[in-house]
Amino acid sequence: MKPIIAALAAVAMIFSFTVATGRTDDSTGFRQARERLVYGELRRQGIADTRILDTMARIPRHRFVPAALADQAYANRPLPIGEGQTISQPYIVALMTENLALTGSERVLEIGTGSGYQAAVLARLTAEVYTIEIKEKLHRRSHRLLGELGLENIRTRQGDGYFGWPEAAPFDGIMITAAVDHVPPPLLEQLKEGGRLILPLGNPFHYQNLVLITRRGDDFTVRQITGVLFVPMTGFALDKDRRASEDRP
Amino acid sequence: MILPAVFLLSASAIALEILLARVFSITQWNHLSFMVISIALFGFAVSGAALNLMEARRPGSAARLTTEPAIRRLVVLFCVSGIAAAAGITRLPLDYFRLPVEPVQSLYLLAAYLLPAVPFFFAGLITALAYAARPETSGRVYFASMAGSAAGALLPALLLPVWGEERLILICIAFPLAALGYGGRSDPARRGRRAAIRLSAIAGAGIAIGTILTVPAVSRLVRIAPSPYKGLSQILQFPDSHITRTRHSLQGRIDRIRSPYVRFAPGLSLKFSGKLPVQHPSFCDGDNPLVRYSIRHPDDLDFCRFTTSHAAYTLTGTPASVLVIQNGGGLAIPCAMAAGAGEITVIEANPILAGMLRAHYDLPVIRDAPRAYLARTDRRFTVIHLENWGASMAGAAALNQDHTFTTEAMDACLSRLSDRGVLLITRRLLLPPADSIRLFATAYEALAGRGVDQPENHLAMLRNWDTFTLIVSARPMENADRLKRFARERNFDPVFLPHIKPDTANRFNVFDRPFHYRAIQGLLAGYQSGTARAFFRTYPLDVAPQSDQRPFPGRFLKWSRLPELHRSTGGRLYSLLMSGEIVVAAVFVEAFAVAGILLLLPRWARNRVNQPPGGGRFRLFFLAVGAGFMFVELYFIKSYTLLFGDPVISFAVVLTGILIFSSIGGLCSQRLGRRGLVPSLLALMLCLVLLAAGLPPLISRVLRFAEPLRFFIGLMLLLPPGILLGLPFPLGMRLLPGSAEHRAEAWTANGCTSVLTSILSAQIALTLGIRAILISGFLAYAAALLGAVQWKVNGETGGQ
């Protein structure tokens, strides 16, 4: 009887260990899927910055999603992470990061930590990352996970991102991943001269395009970046070959 | 006993149907609330097929199931399954938002479809049994069914404000228990105690209802919470954010929120560096917020002067009077205040929201349908601000019927402008350009319809990175320079201005190409060269102006261009599944397959020799009658949405009216003999012709009457068609010879075509317009007439 009990206990322990560590284990399967996503799909979609590609190839996205969705972590689409939140589509993460034009010495503010994945990507590409999340559960979860990954150049905060992080301002880059219908004026004030602010438009499962705002003195230019999210439709009014000067009635 | 059971279960079933639609509207989005009609009718159709199969396998099943003990069991099964369904679907982790990324959601969706179908199955079964077992009293059965349904349609309208969705669902499921007290007529020994038994049953139902109302654990069986992706769920996760009050009505559940984190200011310029005032949001069905601003100091209004909406006020100066047509948002009122408007009048259709706005701003807020007010008033306004932000997801509002963005609506607004007045509409900017083009075209055609020469001189459109504002001026814009200056100062881009220069259209909010500017220029070129129809035909999306006959301003899909649309939105299936129209198509395909199985399965199971007399003609008749009834009912529901300003109110009024009057028709059918079938169909068809010609202009005239009179006239207009609609089915049932299983098959056929018709009508309205639904009804009854005539010619009818 005793050997049977011991064997069962051992099996239970092994099973529990497997379940407990399954998400943290960066198995060969996950690594290969990640590399296929990054060096295959994202590159095909026009992401050219090799630093970003290499960074995303190293960060285990499957650790940022619920265990039940880990096998979908390296599909190029957004995933629900609970609390009505999503982890962004990898292409969106790459496109937003690419458009921040980071060289490695910047200080970046992220509004809406969410899963923490975007912050993790930024942390490997720049000097300092400040990230704010208003929802307590998400903040605790991402804070813990970013700590486990050993990303020491990230500072997290639970709070109202509308007012930014004035103590750490100004920022070279600001990324807003929370839903907004206007750009919070305090964030514009915390943007450095020449700084870039980026935010996605649409809903988390269907971002239409990105908005990139660049500061030049007191002026701001706004550029709509569609990437592959929007392919202009051909037709009478939207013929690509027509130049603007030809559009006068 | 069976007639009281039919009455009570029909009442309960309709009330449950309406309340389930409310549940889906709150927990999901409108796509699924549309599915409820299909679920209910599916349950009815399956009941007929099941009875048919039972009769085929064991003849006499119908008679055995109409004994009093059997009916009591069916009533109890209805109640138990209803409670299980209500509790089950509100606990399912179904989230339509996650359907494309979580395959398990499709299982939850299937469960959400099948679970509520079970109580409808039992309700339908009792009615099918009544028809099958007693064909000679089909008229009375029809009366009980329809009158019960009519009563049930009224219950949510009256009781939702009192008890809310969660408790009312349980109450509506429980009250048919009173039917248990009926019966005992056949047992002389029980006659003396009949009254006591009846009272006991009613008391039992009362106790059940009392328990629901007073015991929290019972009422919590049904828990209705919005999807975590809806605005309300999101904001409740913020610190110090909570619901302060919830109010229920047929038009929506309104939750008032207190939260320091609400900042609604769409179209705000990057040049604004001030602060936003404190805001108090209310959510309708968990989404579509209406925000009230706390204006304690004039500076609190500064932000309005930095929005695209304020552009219109640069043309008018300080307006003498402003009319705000409110449908969500909330920015319009402070914009009018910021402009220093002399008088501000607000129209809000929802009574709860109207009361909140009135109390908060101390302004005259008129609770009425906007089109009715515009038809009735003779006032003129300097500015009319139509605030309606639409759906945040492209495609999600495709099925929404809205009469405030049609050419007739635009004309009505223009007729209420003063000489120098402007109409202003601000909406979300979408890619590919769609909404902006449609609204521009609608304004252009409305102006042209009023005899305006060169309508483009009356139009302007500005945008920022995610909103656009359309301005329609009563006079040619003489001071467009003010708009140009405003746009430049605020870093907005003109999409269209009189004499616009192309290089100004994409300067501050830069797209790869000036997509919206180009699209408008192409449209304008079309109008000026007389080739606008060609523009609409070749444009990849349906952006043609909408009319009152085809009022779906959120619908842009062209099926022929679906592959291109899919590519255009990044090749993501998700974006297509968010389209309500695609959901309708998918549901129709599924329902068609299921209907086919339900109709064919009993025939395969049945002995070949036991085919009904005049098989094909009999089926044609009942299929056509089922379709015709639903087409006519849905035609009225959609037509009356203009009259009452709200599709839910229209649904409740039409359902109640049609059901009451058709129940009277059912009673009248008892007096008609065999010869009455064909004349009744002819009379109905004539009535439909008269409706097609006369109802739309009549509605336009009635629109200007006060609301109580509109309701009364609307109800009375249902009387002639309602009575006539109540004749064919019970007549057909009574005149159909043969066995109970044939009558069950007739019930199945009726149910199946009702399901398909309810879904098909939505697509017909979207594609061809509302009147096409009535034409479809006419054709259905023509087919029924064909079946009836051939029936009669062959002498195949039985009964009297």
For the segment B190-210, what is each residue's pLDDT rounded down to a tens digit? Answer: 555 667 767 777 777 777 777
Q: For residue B454, name the pLDDT band (cuts at 50, 70, 90).
A: very high
Q: What is the mean pLDDT of residues B455-478?
A: 95
pLDDT attached to residue B38: 79
pLDDT attached to residue B559: 86
Tokens linked to B64: 């055995």
β-strand pairing of B509-510 with B493-496: unpaired
Q: Does B592 touch chain A (CB under 8 A)?
A: no
Distance between CA atoms of residues B755 and B750, nearest Å: 9
* Cβ-Cβ contacts under 8 Å, A134 against chain B: 237-239, 261
- Judge residue B60's burial from the number of C-beta atoms within 10 Å of its C-beta, 0-12 exposed, 13-18 middle, 19 or more buried: exposed
- Look at B460 and B799; give whichever has higher pLDDT: B460
For the segment A28-77, what is each residue's pLDDT rounded down to a tens digit? Answer: 889 999 999 999 999 999 999 999 999 999 999 999 999 988 999 999 98
Flag if A80 and B528 touch (Cβ within 8 Å). Answer: no
Distance between CA atoms of residues B302 and B335, nearest Å: 9
Q: What is the mean pLDDT of residues B258-274?
A: 94
Has residue B66 got a pLDDT over 60?
yes
Q: What is the mean pLDDT of residues A129-136?
A: 95
Residue of A137, A203, A247 lying closest to B518 (CB–CB): A247
Flag if A249 and B508 touch (Cβ within 8 Å). Answer: no
* Mean pLDDT score across all residues of chain B: 87
For the ranges B172-181, B228-237, B767-776, the one whose mean pLDDT is highest: B767-776
Residue of A84, A181, A245 lying closest to B228 (CB–CB): A84
Flag if B394 and A232 touch (Cβ within 8 Å). Answer: no
Has residue A225 got a pLDDT over 70?
yes
Q: What is the mean pLDDT of residues B247-266?
A: 93
Q: What is the mean pLDDT of residues B61-75?
A: 84
* Cβ-Cβ contacts under 8 Å, B521 against chain A: 237, 247-249
A218: distance to nearest CA of chain B, Å? 8
Residue of A185, A245, A249 lying closest to B524 (CB–CB): A249
> Distance of alpha carbon B380 from its chain centroid, rounded?
32
For the segment B627-647, what is each residue's pLDDT rounded down to a tens digit? Answer: 999 999 999 999 999 999 988
Flag if A222 and B508 touch (Cβ within 8 Å). Answer: yes
pLDDT attached to residue B683: 95
Q: Does B436 touch chain A (CB under 8 A)?
A: no
List the one residue out of B16, B24, B10 whose CA is nearest residue B83. B16
Preceding omega of B494 cis (within 30 degrees of 0): no
Flag if A184 and B270 touch (Cβ within 8 Å). Answer: no
Q: For residue B615, name the pLDDT band (cuts at 50, 70, 90).
A: low
Q: For residue B592, name the pLDDT band (cuts at 50, 70, 90).
A: confident
Closest chain A residue to B537, measured at CA: A236
Closest chain A residue to B523, measured at CA: A237
Q: DSSP assignment of B182-213, as one string?
A: ---TT-HHHHTTHHHHHHHHHHHHHHHHHHHH
Distance between CA atoms of residues B640 and B363, nearest Å: 29
Amino acid found at B147? A
In angstroms, the Cα distances linking B94 to B112, B169, B438 are 8, 19, 34
Question: Are A235 and A212 in contact, with CB atoms under 8 Å apart?
Answer: no
pLDDT attached to residue A205: 67
Q: For residue B574, name the pLDDT band (cuts at 50, 70, 90).
A: low
Tokens linked to A243: 């130049």
H, E, C per residue of B237-296: CCCCCEEEEEEEECCEEEEEEECCCCCCCCCECCCCCCCCCCEEEEEECCEEEEEEECCC
* Cβ-Cβ contacts under 8 Å, B524 against chain A: 249
Preceding omega of B432 cis (within 30 degrees of 0): yes
Q: Which of residues 201-220 of A touch B (CB under 8 A)?
A: 201-206, 208-209, 211, 213, 219-220
Q: For residue B614, name the pLDDT band (cuts at 50, 70, 90).
A: low
Q: What is the mean pLDDT of residues A148-175?
A: 96
pLDDT attached to residue B468: 96
Has residue A139 got a pLDDT over 90?
yes
β-strand pairing of B381-388 with B365-366: unpaired
pLDDT over 90 for what percent of chain B?
Answer: 55
- Judge residue A187's burial from the number of C-beta atoms within 10 Å of its C-beta, 0-12 exposed, 13-18 middle, 19 or more buried: buried
- Provide the H-helix boundaries in B502-579: 515-529, 532-538, 562-568, 573-577
List the one residue out of B457, B458, B455 whose CA is nearest residue B472. B458
Residues of A tagged active-site: 88
Q: What is the mean pLDDT of residues B461-487?
A: 94
Q: What is the mean pLDDT of residues B501-524?
A: 92
Tokens linked to B698: 């009549």
β-strand pairing of B509-510 with A219-225: parallel
* Cβ-Cβ contacts under 8 Å, B431 against chain A: 208-209, 226, 230
Has residue A118 got a pLDDT over 80?
yes
Distance between CA atoms of residues B436 and B519, nearest Å: 9
Amino acid found at B472? V
Distance between CA atoms of residues B553 and B458, nearest Å: 22
Has residue B594 got a pLDDT over 90?
no
Question: Are B572 and A206 in contact, with CB atoms under 8 Å apart?
Answer: yes
Chain A / chain B CB contacts < 8 angstroms? 175
